[in-house]
Structure 1
Amino acid sequence: MREQPQKPSWHTDSVLIKLGIIAFLILLLLIPSSWIQSLIIEREGYQQTERGSVIKNWADTQLIQGPVLMLPYKKQITETDAQKKVTIHEAIFMLYLLPQNLRIKAAVKTEPFQKGVYDATGYNAQVAITGDFTQPNLSEAGIDPAEVLYDKARLVFSISDIKGLKNNPVINIQGQNYNADVAADDLIPFEKGLQINFPLQKDKGFNFSYLLNLKGSNELNFLHTGKTTDVELSSDWRSPDFGRFMPDSKNINEKGFSASWHMLYYNRPFPQQWLNSNQVLANQKDIKAATIGVKLQLPIDQYRKILRTTKYSTLIILLTFISLFLAEMIKNERVHVFNYVLIGAAMVVYYTLLLSFSEQVGYNWAYLISSVSTIALIAVFTASLLKNNIVAITFSLILSIFYGFIYIIIQLEELSLLFGSIGLFVIVATLMYFSRKINWDKQ
């Protein structure tokens, strides 16, 4: 009597059961993937801390404010006490005036720093500031010209991190040079300021110019204080972020960037002149609304790249498991679920390799080292499982395409979504094509 062929058991050969187990494994692998993302964020936090310590020893973000003309005037004050005794005394008040035209031209050269495995970027800047003031409108301010102390006029300006100043600024006013000193009283309109004292000619405006040689980090900004403010900025940095106000013209290439702004007083929240208040230029919301400048933004630093790469980990594991499953179905070879677990573990460890190597040799080399090592490991393991070198080589090529595809997406910024969508469409279409050869009803 002929023996009946033994039917395969449901728990080993059922396609649906195995697909369910594979899906469950993918969900389980999300747990170590989230741990790795937390590790990357933690390492990025260390980087920010180390950058902060480097910047502290160099110079912080720079915001250049001013100049502002401070013109004191005296006034007779009459007071009556409780006994109705009248006393008259003289008090000093202040008129503040902003420039009519303000022109700023800055050249920025970046300065890379490294502390351990962390990088930071500082800069040196040459900032030439020129402009002019018109004569104060005393009648509008209700000031008697005879009360104005023209010989005690002051010109004040501010640099947010004064330790970054590399020269003693010399202010030229109508051909006369004046050395700037630290402004120490409560009348100046900035938190920190420099000033000069000079005799202002009665009923006349004046031109001014000065040069700032300073260092800073991350950002260089200017406060829009002129009735018209023109800014020209150039740098060797190739990835600028211009913030709130986009420049009227810009040019960005491999050598760096140049940009220029032309701002009118409609775009600033400050009056042209005001009386007796040193808080008009102190409101942080107004300062932010009138700030022009650039952030020397890293295009995509290594931690952002790695974090973006890990966000595709589920997709890579899913596509890898599906490809392996299709290979075993087409070749009629069985791969145990435990072997799927080992392959998934290798693909999770890939991201710790990527993180650790990137801190030493940079993202690109780390990606190459980690990808080649992981693909080679999985290919050799697959060859031993399926006893078929051709299938293993094909599988390694598929993995290479997956990792190459992710690498291209990470390098792109604005076009990453477009290329990612097209690539996924091609991958799904390929899987659909090869899945036609599988008899899903076969047990």
Structure 2
Amino acid sequence: MPNQRYYLKLVIIACLILFLLIPQAFMLGLVGERVSWRHQAYSSIEQSWPGMQTLAGPLLTIPYQLTYNVKELVKDKDGKEREILREVTDQDALHLIPSQLDITSTLDSSLRYRGIYDVPVYSSGLQVSGTFNTQPLLDLIADTKGKQIRWENPQLAVMVRDQRGIAAPPSLQWNGATVNFKPGNNLPGSASAGMHAKLPALDLNQASRIPFQFELELRGMRSMNFALLAENSAVKLAANWPHPSFSGELLPETRDIHANGFNALWKASSFSYNVSGALEQCRAGECSGLLERAVGFELIQPVDVYQQSERSIKYAALFIILTFVVLILFELLKKLRVHPVQYTLVGFALLVFYLLLISLSEHVDFLRAYTAAAFASTGLLTLYFGAILHSHKLGLLLGTGLAGLYALLYLILQAEENALLMGSVLIFAVLALLMLATRHFDWYALTAGNPPNRTVSGTDHPVPATPDDSPVR
């Protein structure tokens, strides 16, 4: 009968552990809900502040009309075929990228708040300079000999992802002359975000290198990217945000991240990107692809409290199982009886730690939130263990062990790259400790209500424990 009672209790405790997985899943769902609310806060701020930005260009566009004659066969009234010449006029445009493009950016970041959520925004001062080579115009003229070309006014287009980010209308220094930019990039299929400048006619007698330069203040949030549309390009960036996440097609060649911000340098050529393919799409009337392939960075938060909370919740089942196993051992060794209701309360006390952690981490830094939640949960359980085990020493022992597990869990959460390895080692170490501590237990005797047998060193015969013997070796 005692054996059956213990086995039935073990079944009840196992069912209780499965039941406690339901509130654990609720905690994970709560984290996902809070993350979605944070995204809503981002979207809300984005309605009144420019969003993620990408700068593409400048792109020199020279529209032209090409007129030429084509031969056609036509039939007369009597059915005879004859050859005629028909004049055809095609509308096209030549898109040129800079032979050299240099961008220097100084980014000043700050935080905007929506409720309890903060979102990083920035204002970037850009200095853009470079040169265009007009040799492709002469190549086009040479390729279309025998055809008449009528050139239209060229324009310089600069594309941005969010038009609202252009703080003030800049002016362009083009070949020594000043030209004003106008809103909209004036390119087909690109949502017209950006700016353009009408340029004077180009010299078609000889190839030349035309220098250009302009300054632009561009505002945005969360990320900044540069589409390097040039034969050779270099982007030099300095920012006061100390937690960048570099993204895009290429990582920076050099970077220096320090407590007050970071510096980065990108270098690329037309071989690094499929620039010609994007230009062909633009020629076909779809220029939005020029924004897609870019380099840049994101302004990430230094500590994602929701990600760390989610990772900590995944260890809840381990904490519950370990605590219940220790309580069962004390029941057997100290001849105590812990009611399933008390196991249930202990399980909920362990889960409340994660609820406190999620809520506190939204208002204070993660370390303080974790410490406060662990102290509250451990303190409560230490008092409760002392009461149900009828021993303040045992309660303090269990509370100290639980506090040690919370400390180890925090170290695992901070080690993002080695979290899986450290978690696996922790589980193995705890399992090994339990197995070694109970390796001489006579479980049949324990569950039957008798003192445990122990094995004499050097023999295989169990020796009954005397009243003065400790049940644990």
1:250 to partner: Cα distance:
2.0
Q: 1:240/1:54 Cα in 2 relative to 1: closer, same or farther (>3 Å)?
A: same
Query: Contact 1:234–1:259 (CA<8 Å) still a contact in 2?
Result: yes
Query: Contact 1:97–1:274 (CA<8 Å) still a contact in 2?
Result: no
| Aligned match for 2:31, one of 40, 63, 66 | 40
Aligned to 2:210: 206
CA distance in 2, matches of 1:430, 1:282: 61
What per-residue deviation string (whole Å, max 9, x for no partner) do you get for residues 182-202 of structure 1?
247555867423111122344
CA distance in 2, matches of 1:257, 1:236: 6
Q: What does 1:49-60 align with in structure 2 at a 5 Å threshold?
A: 49-60=40-51
Query: Contact 1:130–1:210 (CA<8 Å) still a contact in 2?
Result: yes
2:283 maps to 1:277: yes
1:400 to partner: Cα distance:
0.5
CA distance in 2, matches of 1:130, 1:328: 78
Q: 1:403/1:276 Cα in 2 relative to 1: closer, same or farther (>3 Å)?
A: closer
Query: Contact 2:227–2:295 (CA<8 Å) still a contact in 1?
Result: yes
CA distance in 2, matches of 1:264, 1:185: 26
Q: What does 1:40-439 align with in structure 2 at a 5 Å threshold?
A: 40-76=31-67, 93-141=92-140, 142-143=143-144, 147=149, 149=151, 152-183=153-184, 185=186, 187=188, 191-199=192-200, 200-202=202-204, 203=206, 204-243=208-247, 244-271=249-276, 277=283, 279=285, 281-283=287-289, 287-288=291-292, 290-436=293-439, 438-439=441-442
What per-residue deviation string (whole Å, max 9, x for no partner) do you get for residues 129-162 of structure 1?
2211111323543356984637x22111111111
The TM-score, its normalising length taken from structure 2, stands at: 0.82
C-alpha RMSD of matched pairs (Å): 2.9
Query: Contact 1:59–1:163 (CA<8 Å) still a contact in 2?
Result: yes
For the pair shown, which has the larger CA radius of gyration, 1 or 2? 2
319-328 vs 406-415, greater mean Cα deviation = 319-328
CA distance in 2, matches of 1:391, 1:189: 71
Q: Give the match's secondary structure for 1:298.
A: coil
Output the amino acid matched with 1:293.
G
Output the amino acid matched with 1:392.
G
Query: Contact 1:95–1:274 (CA<8 Å) still a contact in 2?
Result: no
The TM-score, its normalising length taken from structure 1, stands at: 0.87
127-136 vs 324-333, greater mean Cα deviation = 324-333
Matched length? 430
Q: 1:56/1:143 Cα in 2 relative to 1: closer, same or farther (>3 Å)?
A: farther
CA distance in 1, matches of 2:214, 2:330: 73
Output the amino acid matched with 2:158.
F
Q: 1:275/1:234 Cα in 2 relative to 1: closer, same or farther (>3 Å)?
A: closer
Query: Contact 2:157–2:186 (CA<8 Å) still a contact in 1?
Result: no
Q: Give the match's secondary structure for 1:268.
A: coil
1:347 to partner: Cα distance:
1.5
1:57 to partner: Cα distance:
1.1
Q: 1:406/1:275 Cα in 2 relative to 1: closer, same or farther (>3 Å)?
A: closer
Output the amino acid matched with 2:285.
Q
1:256 to partner: Cα distance:
2.6
CA distance in 2, matches of 1:136, 1:227: 14
Query: Contact 2:188–2:287 (CA<8 Å) still a contact in 1?
Result: no
Output the amino acid matched with 2:428.
F
Q: 1:327/1:195 Cα in 2 relative to 1: closer, same or farther (>3 Å)?
A: same
1:436 to partner: Cα distance:
3.7
1:207 to partner: Cα distance:
1.3
Residue identity over aligned pairs, in percent, reads 27
Structure 1: segments with no counterpart, 5+ residues: 1-7
1:237 to partner: Cα distance:
2.5
Aligned to 1:5: none
Aligned to 2:462: none
Structure 2: segments with no counterpart, 5+ residues: 77-83, 449-473
The higher relative CO (CA closer than 8 Å, separation ≥ 6) is in 1
Output the amino acid matched with 1:9.
P
